Amino acid sequence: MILPLTGCQISYLFHAAAGQFRFLYHAVPVEEVLQQGSLPAEQKRRLALVSRIKEFGENELGLKESDNYETINLKDQSPVYTVSASPKDKLALVTWWFPVVGDLPYLGFFDLEAARKQRDSLMAKDLDTFVGRAEAYSTLGWFKDPLSLHLIQGSDLNLVETILHEMTHTTLYVKGQGEFNEGLAQLVGKTGALLFFEQTFGPSHPATKEAHDSICDEGLFSTFLVSLLSELDALYKDEQIPYSLKLSEREKTFARYTEKFSEVKEQMRTKRFANFCQPGLNNAYLMSVGLYHRHYGLFETVLARKGNSLKELLLFFQGLSRDKGNLIDRTREWVDRQNAGQERASS
């Protein structure tokens, strides 16, 4: 679904632009902050790590060089709120079209009340909705993206994953293909973080072990999510089931998988997915989560085919993205051809 640039859209663009410029206005150089005593020692240590993360991403992973994350906003701690929507009987996100980036499966707001107002407007159209939050984002090179105070107040692992994730967007972003863009960035962020910690601190360091555990949990969660979405997809596509019955049956599916997730969570080594299900399940929430996690296994398969080299993975996708078509579908087709070729070679 593509929405035209209406008056409402123009109002939204003004809101986004004002928030962005306000965030940029309060940003100061990282080097200046490091020379001051305004931050606690742990946050200062984490801030000093940023340049090493960037250098690693550029030199070791093949991510694009930029002036991003050389400044930090120490005043404006407001997160960016995202609003997503989906039909109640279909696994598809409503999209909004904007110049340069194409179709986006969410709207971003610097103000929670503005996000809730947009959510209420979408709910009035009988859509599932979800309001999420992001601690970092990429402007794809249009501005010099600053760090947020939230980011250096978190863990080392979250800092490294987030910066490498956003650097991936700056390196390769395909208009209108949210699942591909976020799925690829998720893989590069997580795998790149493990490689960074191994090289920087060694394989036995607690941060390295946490990065490894995070990848294991990602695999568990992605498998669980694919199963849930597959079951819902079959329900929604069954033309013999009336709309009202689909809505009641999906609630049973939501309840069943909420119980299943309690079992999956017990197998996890980190608390990354501890809050899953807490907002309550609906299509908008699940598809928003799915943007990042649904196709993780597919990207892992391609990475293995590329010798576990993130540089080769990025080069492959840069080539694949030159042609038109849904990149998730085309990636699956490529993997199928690779598997077929292996089967012929072994027979």
The helix/strand/coil state of 88 is: coil
What range does the domain containing 110 cover?
A: 7-332
| 18 inside domain | yes
pLDDT of residue 76: 57
| 345 inside domain | no
Give me the number of domains the chain comprises: 1
- Percentage above 90 pLDDT, the chain: 70
CA dist., res. 338 & res. 259, Å (int): 37
Q: What does the pLDDT average to over 326-336?
A: 97
| 337 inside domain | no
DSSP secondary structure code for residue 131 in this structure? E
pLDDT of residue 72: 87
Element (H, E) at 188: helix 178-201
247-287: pLDDT as tens digits? 999 999 999 999 999 999 999 999 999 999 988 999 999 99
The secondary structure of 233-276 as a DSSP string is HHHHH-TTS-HHHHHHHHHHHHHHHHHHHHHHHHH-SSSTTTTT
| 36 inside domain | yes
25-64: pLDDT as tens digits? 567 888 999 998 789 999 999 999 999 999 999 999 999 9
Banded pLDDT at 19 (limits 50, 70, 90): low
The helix/strand/coil state of 159 is: helix
| 340 inside domain | no
| 91 inside domain | yes
For residue 329, CA distances in Å to 4, 68, 123, 298, 335 come to: 26, 32, 31, 10, 10
pTM listed for this prediction: 0.89
| 342 inside domain | no
| 2 inside domain | no
